[in-house]
Chain A
Amino acid sequence: MKQLLYVMPGALFGAGLVLSGMTNPAKVIGFLDVAGGQWDPSLAFVMAGAIAVFGVMNQLIHRRSEPLMKGKLPGQWSDTGVTTQGLVGAAVFGLGWGLSGICPGPAIASLASGHVEIFVYITGLLMGMVVAQQVFDVDAPKSADSGDFQERLGDPVAS
Chain B
Amino acid sequence: MDWAHFTPWSALLGGVLIGLATGLTLLLNGKIAGISGVLGRILRPQEDDSFWRLSFLVGLALGGALTVSLVPGAGAMVFPKTGGLLGILVAGVLVGFGTRYGGGCTSGHGVCGISRASKGGAAATVTFMVVAGLVVFATRVLVSGGAS
A interface vs B, CB < 8 Å? 3, 5-27, 29-30, 32-55, 57-58, 61, 64, 66-69, 71-74, 76-83, 85-105, 107-113, 115-117, 120-133, 136, 138-142
Contacts known (A25-B77, A96-B98, A101-B79); A14 close to B59, Cβ less than 8 A: yes
B96 CB contact (under 8 Å) in A3, A30, A73, A127: A127
B135 CB contact (under 8 Å) in A22, A53, A99, A115: A99
Chain B nearest CB: distance from A159 CB in Å?
A: 34
Give per-residue flags for B67-78: 1 if the beta carbon is below 8 A from chain A beta carbons, else 0. 110010011111
* Distance between Cα atoms of A129 and B45 in the complex (Å): 13
A32 CB contact (under 8 Å) in B95, B99, B132: B132
Q: Could you tell me if B35 and A128 are in contact, using CB atoms closer than 8 angstroms?
A: no
Show 12 residue pairs from A and B whose CB-CB distance is below 8 angstroms, ordered by the A residue.
A14-B67, A15-B66, A32-B129, A87-B102, A89-B100, A94-B135, A96-B95, A111-B65, A112-B61, A127-B93, A133-B100, A138-B101
* Distance between Cα atoms of A42 and B9 in the complex (Å): 8
Q: Could you tell me if B97 and A128 are in contact, using CB atoms closer than 8 angstroms?
A: yes
Best-buried of B11, B30, B76, B103 by chain A (most CB within 10 Å): B11
Q: Could you tell me if B13 and A103 are in contact, using CB atoms closer than 8 angstroms?
A: no
> Which parts of B73-118 form the interface with A (CB within 8 Å)?
74-80, 83, 85, 87-103, 105-107, 109-118
Contacts of A97 in B (CB 8 A): 91, 95, 106, 128, 132, 135
Q: Could you tell me if A86 and B130 are in contact, using CB atoms closer than 8 angstroms?
A: no
